[in-house]
Amino acid sequence: MSKSLKRQSEDDAGNEAKKPVVGHWANGLLTAMEDPNLRIFSDSKVVVIKDKYPKAKFHFLVLPKKSIPNLSSITSKHIKLLQHIHDVGREIAEREEHKNINFRMGYHAEPSMHHLHMHVISDDFDSDSLKTKKHYNSFVTAHFIDSEKLIESVKTVGKAVTPSREECQKLLKKPLACFKCGEEMANMPKLKKHFTTHI
């Protein structure tokens, strides 16, 4: 992007996502995109919001204004948009990045929420909202598809390459283990305490 990130609100009615079906929780991201308390950046193509239930100290979502339901809807015509989403995410991460905290940028293979969104999340995983093995494994296994790898797969085969539904379920059920050293932990509190040994 040619200018630094700043709070802004640009109307681009032609590219705005379709309105959610009223009352369906899985469409919550479409409502969140319009929430001024969550929205931190907007341009003609994307909106960046703070995750309402962050799974780390820093957790943002980059969402296209264009209506794209999920990764299976991605084709080669979306390459430029995916790259823009990545570039915006990288700028958000660089703004927050500091010693001992790195960022992951990517997509869940099987997200619970509708509308395409890229996670920009710090790898401290220090959050009260990170409560379950499923939450954690969704970010540290192959269930989490790195943004650059996704773009490369779309360039190569014309679509997003993702694990099967069966593989996703297995990945989410893997034993709790530190993503840095591989040591297995009995529960989330012990895992979070263990993370402090790597600081």
Q: Which structure tokens are listed for 17?
A: 């996502």
Give the whole-angstrom CA distance, residue 118 versus residue 147: 8
Tokens 């709790």 locate to 176
Q: Which of these is catalytic: 78, 117, 119, 143? A: 117
**Annotated catalytic, 119?**
no
Q: Find, among 13, 60, 19, the residue nearest to 38 by Cα.
A: 60
Kindly list the catalytic residues. 117
